[in-house]
Structure 1
Amino acid sequence: MHRAHRITDPSYELMDDHEGMSVIYRQHGFPCPLVRWHFHKEYELHLIVASTGKVFIGDYIGHFGPGSLFLTGPNLPHNWISQVADGEVVPRRDMLVNFTDALIEEGGQVFSELKSLAPMLERAQYGIEFRDPRLIAEATVLMQRIEDSRGGSRLGWFMILMELLAGSDAYGLLSATSAAQLADDSNVERTNRAVDYIFSHYGRELPLEEVAEHLNMKPTYFSRVFKQATGRCFVEFVNRLRISKACELLTDSERPVTEVCFASGFNNISNFNRRFQQLKGMTPSDYRRLAVQRLTDQRALA
């Protein structure tokens, strides 16, 4: 039995614990009050240490596991929800490094080398997932050194980490919608509750009216608020979540495609195949073959 931890804390995260430091390091487990659909002015480099689940960045929905590494730009809404058993606690799930535009922009006026980071930070407004296992392994070591250091040493390790990430071309851009279009404090909190509810129930028939009722909102108003906050209409959001689950099952199991269809929340195999083709540009069987080949290639490089 799996569940998503329900969180209803404020959606805008104010980081008032800088303590005079330019680079903030944090880590937390799951469940945790920080796990919610939220945004903040800082960039966030987010490394998953333990557990698997779904990542939501802007209008993107994907799968995460240990070793997943993401960079989100200022005010880009995001959340990582682990799939855990009832009562299960993950003591240390995330390692996070936060920093502001001011650090890079003002620092760049003194140190011209920092200007080389600009293209990566520009891409971060849509969210970035780094996909090179060797780079992620190096980044993990550097994030640990950031945790263990203070002062100039922390800043030095941070700059080495940023240079490493900026030099990689093994990444994917995630959200089709930028932060400027999504960050709305008045709507994101309600969307947090909606995403939490959808995540808990998307494996069955889930009408928009049910979610709207859960939030004590009129269906038409909920539909408008939800699309404004996520960049997707309700049906498309749910279908993307289900297709993401299907991709996970196709990659990590040998279950027949028909079984994957129903296990991911679809009740019609033809609709499942059509939606999968639309979103992934290939059939579920072709996706499985490519996923297996990718895993084989990664193991050969390791």
Structure 2
Amino acid sequence: MSNQIARLSAPSYELIQPKDHSSIIYREHGFPDPVVCWHYHKEYELHLITHSSGKVFVGDYIGNFYPGNLVLTGPNLPHNWISDVKNGEVYPERDKVVVFTDDMIQAARHAVPEFRDLADLLRRASFGIKFNDPQAIAQAHRLMPLIAASSGLECFAHFLTLMSLLAKTNQYQLLSSEHYLSITGEKNQQRANQAVNYIFKHYCQDLSLEEVAQEMGMQPTYFSRFFRQTTGRRFIEFVNCLRITRACDLLAHSDMAITGICFEVGFSNISNFNRHFMALKMTTPSDYRRLSTITHDSA
């Protein structure tokens, strides 16, 4: 995994400057890029991935992402997309992003009753929403460039069309858990970044809490508490989730034997791998591969 891959465990606050005479902001992000980091802000963001694949973090959720993924994040919900790139590999455009504020939505609700149709959608966005509706995703591909290329009422009309489609679909997945408590602010950010960077480089190996604590210059007990406070997860839970997420990617997109995948992602024996896989995915690795094959064949 590239040394450029880094999830900021203590999320930094991003100040988004509004455009003059517009309540909608359109952006495009490349990768790698300084603005692509583990962060939060007071605005909603709708992300459409157009190039590359990798790991996505939303609150305490960890998963894989691919081109075509469409995700809405709510205010103050930490998030990041980390592309799996080789050294020197660059994506000038990685995702398209539409940004809007809760202040705008709430003000509009008082003046325009129809905005209440978005209430359930925006409430779900506090957990992060991944949309799985092919038609909604296709419309996002069509409408986002129109939002980017227009202004004024025309831009706002395209935005409302897209939001209406997303509010109506029932094909979605909530990402972060109800129990996740965001740890905001900059305190301890540098040390948290150092720990997570080290884990990303070594999670497919035999990695212990004691080893990372030593790398950080901390006592294991203190590091364990520190890590849980800054990520919302216990150390071993975080490492195993990364390993199982990588295993899912290999099961769905390679012909590698399941035993080989077990060792490739960092587990020392197949029974331990199967147990953690079942706990996180509620199915066996072989059934996950079979269902992934069926899904791809029918797409």
Partner of 1:35: 36
Question: 1:185 aligns to what?
Answer: 185
* Cα 1:193–1:120 shift into 2, 3 Å: farther
Residue by residue, what CA displacement relative to the aligned partner does 1:73-125 show, whole Å, maximum 9, x if unpaired?
11111111111111111110011111111111110111111101110111111
Q: Could you give the per-residue CA deviations for residues 186-242 of structure 1, whole angstroms, max 9, x where no partner exists?
A: 458344443333223211122223434444544333322322233211110110111
> Residue 201 of structure 1 aligns with which residue?
202
Q: 1:278 to 1:23 in 2, by over 3 A?
A: same
**One-letter identity of the residue aligned with 2:209:** L
Per-residue CA shift, 1:31-52, capped at 9, x if unaligned?
Answer: 0112211111111111111001
Deviations 1:269-297 (A, max 9, x none): 11101100111111100111111111222
Name the Cα RMSD after superposition.
2.1
1:156 deviates by: 1.2
Alignment of 1:241-260 (within 5 A): 241-260=242-261
Unaligned runs of 5+ in 2: none
Aligned-pair distance for 1:16?
2.2
Partners of 1:95 and 1:126 in 2: how far apart?
20
Whether the 8 Å CA contact 1:58–1:178 is kept in 2: the answer is: no
**Alpha carbons 2:11, 2:40 under 8 Å: kept:** no
Contact 2:11 2:186 in 1 (8 A): no
Contact 1:212 1:218 in 2 (8 A): yes
Amino acid at match of 2:266: G
Give the 3 Å change call, closer, same or farther, for CA 192–24 of structure 1 in structure 2: farther
> How far apart in 2 are the matches of 1:192 and 1:153?
42
Letter in 2 for 1:219: P
Find the counterpart in structure 2 of residue 152 from structure 1: 153
Structure 1-normalised TM-score?
A: 0.91
> Is residue 56 of structure 1 aligned with residue 80 of structure 2?
no
Q: How far is 1:7 from its partner? A: 7.4
Whole-Å separation in 1 of the counterparts to 2:273 and 2:178: 25
TM-score by length of 2: 0.92
- Distance in 1 between residues matched to 2:283 and 2:55, nearest whole Å: 22
Aligned to 1:164: 165
Q: Is the 8 A contact 2:45 2:72 kept in 1?
A: yes
Q: Which amino acid aligns with 1:209?
A: E
Q: Could you report, residue by residue, the CA deviation over 1:126-148 in whole angstroms, capped at 9, with x for unpaired residues?
A: 11101122221111111111111
Identity within the alignment, %: 53
| Secondary structure of 1:99's aligned partner | strand
Which deviations, in whole Å up to 9, do the C-alpha atoms of 1:163-182 show, x marking residues without a partner? Answer: 01111111001111466x21
**Partner of 1:273 in structure 2?**
274
Which is worse superposed, 263-272 or 122-131? 263-272
Unaligned 5+ runs, structure 1: none
Aligned length: 297
Partners of 1:281 and 1:239 in 2: CA distance: 15
Q: 1:217 to 1:116 in 2, by over 3 A?
A: farther
Please tell me the residue identity of whatever aligns with 1:169.
N
**What is the CA-CA distance between 1:6 and the residue it aligns to?**
4.3
Q: Name the stretch that deviates more: 196-205 or 8-17.
A: 8-17
Q: Aligned AA for 1:29?
A: G
1:225 paired residue number:
226
